[in-house]
Amino acid sequence: MSVKPEMRGRRNRIKYFLLDTTRDLFNLGRGRSKHADMQRSYEKYETRETEAIYSYSTFNRYEKVMAKFADFLRDEMNVKYERDFRRLSEDELYYCIDKYFEKQLEERELAQNTLEIHISALYKVLGEIKPGIREYFTPSNRERWRDGIPQGDNDRYNNPEKVIEALRKIDETSYIIAELQRTTGARVGDVKKITVDEENKRVFIEGSKGGRDRFIYYDRPEFEEQFEKVKELKEKLDNILKEKSYSEIRENQYYDNLRRACRKAQEPYHASHPFRYEFAQSRYEVIKEWDKQEQIEYYKRILEDRGKSEKDIKEAIKSVIERDVVDVAIISEELGHSRIDISMHYLKLKGK
């Protein structure tokens, strides 16, 4: 029986690929004795591990995990098809796993015991496709993922200028998007939303993740050059978007070009999120040098522009002063984070 072309494309999508692999492992273990298989494994390899899934309840749980992980790969890492997944190196896949669990931390989506199931499912299914990835599931990494502790490594490209220069030579539109991410800290989906307020020398991003509005100010001498760059880049992007949709550029152009740029720059491909880390860390290095009163006034203005009440503003300022994190709170607001501890991770700071 021939398979329709649209069905072949459907089956090649990352979600179906991972779900099919999960089902294959269940079919392998169905009706067999897990205990007997583990005993044979121990006698042959001195390890009590088997690749199969034996119970329907485990298969059902793992299937849900892999569907969720596939959505993450598609939406956050632009890994949409089996071929995209197979092109990932083990280091790149490890990075994806790390970012997946960081996302759970940021959004507080999963409880600890549920995270343990996710770890086991990823180990079983991903390890079947790329056996070398099992080496990354060390006790310390498992503990970190389960407890929601971010790694803090690989948060930005080692040589972002080299990546950007390579991207510029490959495709101007992709270069513009990456530079706007670096200069505004915008998530890739928010780049098209950037509004430049030339009179007040600020950038406004409406309805970012979680529905939060973001304001980034450039009206101090330290940021004026960046503001001119943002204006120029956004004007170019707006002209490009008159001819082509942003979603088409993002899905069919940007990530592929960024991947090529990383290869040329000899950098592991970590998608576009490292540009957001770069923005946060570079901005923090400037803001932390201001005196406390300057920081407080700057923070207050951001909260006022977000429409916070006078009472909420006073309480927020009091809290960050007591914790001595006014500079971090500024970065947290400019990144659009809901909690300061997430921004501390971006800045590689220990909790205060």
Are residue 172 and residue 311 in the same domain, yes or no? yes
Q: Please say if the pLDDT value at position 44 is more than 60.
A: no
At 148, is the pLDDT very low, low, confident or very high (cuts 50, 70, 90)? Answer: low
CATH number at residue 287: 1.10.443
Q: Which residue, of 147, 180, 199, is where some domain finishes?
A: 147
Are residue 123 and residue 181 in the same domain, yes or no? no
Distance between CA atoms of residues 218 and 228, nearest Å: 9
Is 155 within the bounds of a domain? no
Is 352 within the bounds of a domain? no
CB 31 within 8 A of CB 55: no
Is 134 within the bounds of a domain? yes
User: What does the pLDDT read at residue 6?
Assistant: 40
Are residue 124 and residue 174 in the same domain, yes or no? no
Are residue 38 and residue 76 in the same domain, yes or no? yes
Are residue 132 and residue 178 in the same domain, yes or no? no
Nearest to 249, CA basis, from 83, 78, 92, 14? 78
pLDDT tens profile 151-197 = 444 478 889 999 999 999 999 999 999 999 999 999 888 999 999 99
Are residue 241 and residue 138 in the same domain, yes or no? no
Return the percentage of the chain with pLDDT > 90, whole number: 55
Residue span of the structural domain in which 182 resides? 160-346
Are residue 178 and residue 323 in the same domain, yes or no? yes
Is 338 within the bounds of a domain? yes
User: What does the pLDDT read at residue 205?
Assistant: 92
Are residue 196 and residue 340 in the same domain, yes or no? yes
Are residue 82 and residue 194 in the same domain, yes or no? no
Instruction: State whether the Cα torsion 65-68-74-76 is positive or negative.
Output: negative
Q: Please say if the pLDDT value at position 232 is more than 70.
A: yes
- Give the number of domains in the chain: 2
Are residue 123 and residue 261 in the same domain, yes or no? no
What is the residue-averaged pLDDT of the chain? 86
Q: Which residue, of 123, 147, 171, is where some domain finishes?
A: 147
Are residue 172 and residue 76 in the same domain, yes or no? no
Is 187 within the bounds of a domain? yes
Is 90 within the bounds of a domain? yes
How many residues make up the chain in this entry? 352
Is 299 within the bounds of a domain? yes
CA distances from 214 to 182, 184, 321 (A): 15, 10, 22
CB neighbour list of residue 244: distance below 8 Å, 6 or more residues apart: none
Q: Please say if the pLDDT value at position 245 is more than 60.
A: yes
CB neighbour list of residue 296: distance below 8 Å, 6 or more residues apart: 317, 321, 326
Are residue 139 and residue 43 in the same domain, yes or no? yes
CB 85 within 8 A of CB 129: yes
Is 65 within the bounds of a domain? yes
At 281, is the pLDDT very low, low, confident or very high (cuts 50, 70, 90)? Answer: very high
Q: Which residue, of 147, 175, 191, is where some domain finishes?
A: 147
Higher pLDDT, 27 or 29: 27
At 290, is the pLDDT very low, low, confident or very high (cuts 50, 70, 90)? Answer: very high
